[in-house]
Amino acid sequence: MKNNSMSVALVFALLSVASAQASEFEGGYLGGKIGSNTNHPATNNTSNKAYLGAEAGYAWRMGKVLLGLDGFADDHIKSITGRDVGADVKLGFPSDKFMPYIKLGVAGTNPGSRVHGGVGMEYKFARHWSVVGEWSRDSKTVNSIDQKNNNISIGLNYYFAVPYDALLVAALVEPDEI
């Protein structure tokens, strides 16, 4: 019985250490978003249009920050750039269930490759789910005209990884049941 209670105490100690070090936002994710795109120069057909988008990425813990890669596809049907695809390096600053972040990368399609960047806030409301709000921008000069996209979006992400504490609780319960 002493060994059993010692094992339980050890597992709880490991559980508290692992959950303190684990981030809710580590691992792979897949998400969808809806947003509003404004661009410059604006024309009658290209201003303030709603769009749908998709994202996928993976993040690694690097001390107190997360470093990730994020791929995206935005369907700006009535924008000066049309359908955009791209990739960003994402730097997140997790704090419990919240994570503000910045990202920088490249977007492409018509009018070619452009620098892409953004800032956002993510909130993990369930073990695998988060909601994210983001502002992003890309621009390129074509024929001496600056073409700029500004996007504001809200999305929903699904994380594939299970937080470490759930795995440790499962390990705690199973051996004692046998």
Q: Which residues of the chain are modeled with pLDDT < 70?
A: 1-22, 41-48, 78-81, 110-111, 162-178
Spatial contact of 32 and 156, defined as CB atoms under 8 Å apart: yes
pLDDT, tens only, 89-101: 999 999 999 999 9
